[in-house]
Structures are given as C-alpha cells and as structure tokens.
Amino acid sequence: MRSPRPTVLLAVAALLLAGCSSGSDPDPAAASGAATGNGADVRDLDALTIPDLQSMMDAGDLTAVQLTQAYLDRIAEHDDEVGAVLTLNPDALADARASDDARADGGARSPLEGIPVLLKDNVDTADLPTTAGSRLLLDSEPDDATITARLLDAGAVVIGKANLSEWANFRGADSTSGWSGAGGQTANPYVLDRNPCGSSSGSAAGVAASFAQVAIGTETDGSIVCPSGANGVVGVKPTLGQVSRDGVVPISAEQDTAGPIARHAVDAALLLAVVAGPDDADEATAQVPDGTDTGFADLDLDALQGTRIGVWSPAPDSGVDAGTLAVLTSAVAALEAAGATTVPVELPYQDEIGEGETPALLAEFDRDLTAYLEATDGDVPDDLAGLVAENDDDPVELAYFGQELFTEAIAAPDAEQTRDRIRDLAQRSVDETLAQGPGDDDDLTAIVALTGTPAWVTRYAGVDGVADEFVYSSSTPAAVAGYPAVSVPAGFAGPRGALPVGVSLIGTGWSDADLLDVAADFEDQAQARRAPGFLATVGA
C-alpha cells in the first residue's frame, strides 16, 4: 500500500508558511499567495490530510490561524464561481487562535484541533443563522446542534455554513439540486455549469474546491453520497443512530442522518469519530448494539485482502452510459487488485421500496419539521402551512420551482405501516444479499455500486422547462434500511472525461467501521481522485 508523500508535505508546509513565522499570525497577502494562486499549486492544499496537518501543527510548522486563513483566502478566490459557502463565520480566525492557545497549553483536544470545517446550513449553530436554505428562516435563533457542540469541544474551527438544496431537496417536485433561496445556486467545481447534486451540495463542492478540510452533510436518501460522488470526494452516510440528529432540520427521523464529507477517507473517519456517539436528545443513538466497532479512525489499508464484495450493476435499461459503466468496471478491477473476490449481485424488493418511500416521507415530514419549527426560537413560521403561505408571498422562493411536496405533506395520511414494511424490505434487501450461502465463508463484506452518473447541466423547471436530469442512484436501499454507505471517488466520465464518478460501498447496520476500512483500502488502491479545474463548460 502507498505511503504518505513527505515531499508534498514539506512543499505545502513551506508554501503555507511563506512569510509567516511559527506561532504568529500570518500576513494575509503571504497566506493568500501560499494557499492559492501566486506561485502555489492548489492541489497541494487539496492533498493534505488531517494527520498531515496535525503533524505540522504539533511540530510548530503550522498554526490553526495560518491554516484557517489559507482556507478563507481560497474561499475568497473561488467561491464567487462555486457558491458553496452560504455564510462565513466572522469569528473563524479568533476561534483558530483559541485553538492554537489550547494546543500550546495542553496539547490537541482531538484530531480535529484547529481543523476548518463547513457545516451544511441545516445544522444548527447558535452564533450563525441556520436557514435550511430558506429565506423564511433567516431570522431563526437556534441553539447549537449536538454535532456542532461536539466539533467545538474538539477544537475544530467552524469556518462557515454550506449552501444546500433548499429544505434538503424536499420542497418542489421539479427542484434543482444545489439551489436555495437563501444561498442561490451551487456549482460543480469541476465544471461550473454542471450540477453538484443534492442536497449536501455546498458541503461536497466546498470540500472538493478546498474551502475547508472537511464538512458535515446530511442525508435522507442520497444527499451525502450523491454530491460526494458528483464532486469527487468521500461521503459517509452512517447507520441511523450513529450520529445525533438533535438540532438538524429534518425531513424524517426514520431516515435522516448527518455524516462526514472529506477529500480523504482518513479525514472522513476522523470526523465521524468526533461527532458520533450517544445523545440523550436523540433516542436512536441509544440503539447502538453492545460490541459495535466504533474505532472509525483505526483504518486498515489491507481490509480488502481476502474479502468478498458484491457488485450491484445498473440494470440494462437504467440509462447509464458506457463511459460511466467503465468506471464501475475499473473499480471492480481495483477491488480485485487489493485482494477482494467480487461477486455479481442483484438487490431484491427495489420496486416495492421505491413505491412506499415517498408516501412515508411525506407523512413524516409534516410531523418532524413542525416539531423542529415549534422548538426553534426567532421569527420563523410555526408549521408547514405557514411556510407555504409565506413562500407564496416571497418574490424569490418560487421563482424556479414550486412547493408541491410541502402541500402534499400537509395532506398526507399516516404511513406508519408503509414505513415498517419498506424498512423491513430494505434491510432484508441488503442482508439477504450479503448472506450468499448457508455458511459464513460465503458472506459478503459489502456491496459496491455506482453512486450515480456524472453531473448534469444545471437547469430550472420554471425557466428551462426541465430541472435535474437524474438518471441513476444506488442510495435507496441503505437510506431506507438505515444502514451505512460510503461513496469514494472511482474515476471520471462524461464529456472530455471531466466529471467525477464515485462508487458506493453498502453494508449492514452498524458496520460503519468495516465499511470505512474497505473504503480507505479502495481509495488507496484506486488513486482515482484529482483536484477540480473550475472549467466553465464541457458542452452538453
């Protein structure tokens, strides 16, 4: 397996510290030149991992202030093109300075000490607005979410809030991913007229563009893994209950979870290790079985050796093009080169799961979002009906697409039996596929599938007559089951081979640590990621 690149580390350390003495505040001009365009290769910042950065900070070769300034400069240079950051934290440098002081006084509090993090703007922060992308929540006044508090206690620097598909892409039937009334449109940093996928669009695009080291996204079905695949980063959708949802604007408590997005599997694992764990405010976190492996950051780069991995390929009529299918073929070859045996599989019950998911989510959305709004201080509507009425009067909110899902959710009948049925089917779908025979020797460690297809050109139903040109996704079984999935960069496809494609590794409940091992080993073997180039277009 490949070892870290010490020459890259030394070069980046010199670049980041150009003109800055150890332990002092950086000269902003020097930091900008070091971290972005004046003689520095932006891929250097892209390549650094959290362990690299911690080694540099522990050695006195880098400070959290310098690192945070480098990311702020990167945002200033490129976010006008990408639109990933909805709100910058005005206290980010002060928070970084406090992190440096804490390190000097007693050492790093965690592996995230001094590490800049973006939070999707449906994760509550007491000192920054939490909008879920909606202009109607600009005056909300929440407390910190549990995961926000854990990041701050760990010494992480919240550099800002990431844009998202408004209401996590659960407002209009013809929504455009990456657009919100509060933040506008997020672009894909690889090709700017392409979509970042939703709904953790700003989190994934921001990490891909090196606007932060890591980010928090959230997923109900596909909203971590799809943008991660489309933006060439690692995204972890944990088992439901692994991470607290307290203080996260909901769609449904039956499927929602927050999770890490990072450029490197090790960084995603370290972020998960900080934010995971029991929380009295979220009863799902009490369901972690005894003996569950929560050593997420203890990655095994030989994890694939001797494993059996199921390969779930798109159906012939899926619409997935040959170039994207070739990425899956390449990924299978990488798995085998790392020592895995691959087995073709088909996941059962997908039609029944798909038919029941939206009716269940509509009923749960009204229940769970209303509870969130009622518990949130500030000038915000009380319920879904209030949101619908205020959207109708807003000059921006309905410009590109409607709010059909809001109105359907208000009228939706109870769907508890539907939920129970589709959860059971989704869990059986994964578990029966993993259990390939009567003995343990036949079992699969994980299932691999294309996360999705290359990013489509961004369009709007209200302007162009068409919105997201969504073709294929493998996210639903894990999402409805409440099981983990990890998307990892696997290659490039689309026009001029310019657009990232990821593969998702899917496992049974509470197998998150094992999946991260497999993901890290695959990442190490495939070496498929490259930094974005901010191309204006590659054609239709």
d(CA 313, CA 303): 22
User: Among all residues, which ones are annotated catalytic?
Assistant: 120, 199, 223
Per-residue confidence (pLDDT) for residue 11, from 0 to 100: 46
Per-residue confidence (pLDDT) for residue 40, from 0 to 100: 29
Q: Is the dihedral of CA 26, 29, 35, 39 positive or negative?
A: negative
Sheet strands (E) in 129-233:
140-141, 157-162, 179-180, 184-185, 214-219
* Residue 18 belongs to a domain: no
* Residue 10 belongs to a domain: no
Number of structural domains (the chain) is 1
H-type helices in 209-346, by residue range? 225-230, 265-275, 322-337
* Residue 212 belongs to a domain: yes
Instruction: Return the closest-CA partner of residue 351 out of 418, 422, 405, 415.
Output: 422
H-type helices in 376-511, by residue range? 384-392, 404-411, 416-434, 461-464, 476-481
Angle, CA 123 vertex, CA 407 and CA 182 arms, to 5°: 60
Range of the domain at 382: 50-526
Q: Coil, strand, or helix at residue 49?
A: coil
CATH number at residue 278: 3.90.1300.10
Q: What is the dihedral of CA 310, 316, 317, 318, to 10 degrees?
A: 40
Per-residue confidence (pLDDT) for residue 438, from 0 to 100: 83
Per-residue confidence (pLDDT) for residue 8, from 0 to 100: 39
What H or E segment, with its residue span, contains residue 351? helix 350-375
Q: How far separated are the first and last CA of the chain, in Å rounded?
A: 39
* Residue 396 belongs to a domain: yes
d(CA 197, CA 200): 8
Per-residue confidence (pLDDT) for residue 516, from 0 to 100: 98
Per-residue confidence (pLDDT) for residue 16, from 0 to 100: 56
Burial 450-462 (b: 16+ CB within 10 A, else e): bbbbbbbbbbbbe
The pLDDT profile of the chain, 540 residues, written as one tens digit per residue, is: 333 333 334 444 554 544 333 333 333 333 333 433 333 233 488 999 999 999 999 999 999 999 999 999 999 999 999 999 999 999 999 999 999 999 999 999 999 999 999 999 999 999 999 999 999 999 999 999 999 999 999 999 999 999 999 999 999 999 999 999 999 999 999 999 999 999 999 999 999 999 999 999 999 999 999 999 999 999 999 999 999 999 999 999 999 999 999 999 999 999 999 999 999 999 999 999 999 999 999 999 999 999 999 999 999 999 999 999 999 999 999 999 999 999 999 999 999 999 999 999 999 999 999 999 999 999 999 999 999 999 999 999 999 999 999 999 999 999 999 999 999 999 999 999 999 988 888 999 999 999 999 999 999 999 999 999 999 999 999 999 999 999 999 999 999 999 999 999 999 999 999 999 999 999 999 999 999 999 999 997
175 neighbors 133 (Cβ within 8 angstroms):
no
* Residue 4 belongs to a domain: no
d(CA 390, CA 181): 13
Per-residue confidence (pLDDT) for residue 176, from 0 to 100: 98
Instruction: Return the closest-CA partner of residue 373 out of 391, 386, 392, 361.
Output: 386
* Residue 27 belongs to a domain: no
Angle, CA 214 vertex, CA 265 and CA 482 arms, to 5°: 65
* Residue 452 belongs to a domain: yes
Q: What is the dihedral of CA 512, 170, 160, 383, to 10 degrees?
A: -110
Backbone phi, then psi, for 260, in 5-degree steps? -80, 150
d(CA 78, CA 206): 10
Per-residue confidence (pLDDT) for residue 439, from 0 to 100: 83
d(CA 393, CA 52): 50
Per-residue confidence (pLDDT) for residue 390, from 0 to 100: 98
* Residue 117 belongs to a domain: yes
Q: What is the dihedral of CA 519, 522, 527, 531, to 10 degrees?
A: -20
Q: Whose structure tokens read 């589709």?
A: 422
Q: What is the dihedral of CA 144, 89, 268, 427, to 10 degrees?
A: 40
This prediction's pTM: 0.94
Beta bridge partners of 450: 503
d(CA 505, CA 446): 6
Eight-class DSSP state of 254: T
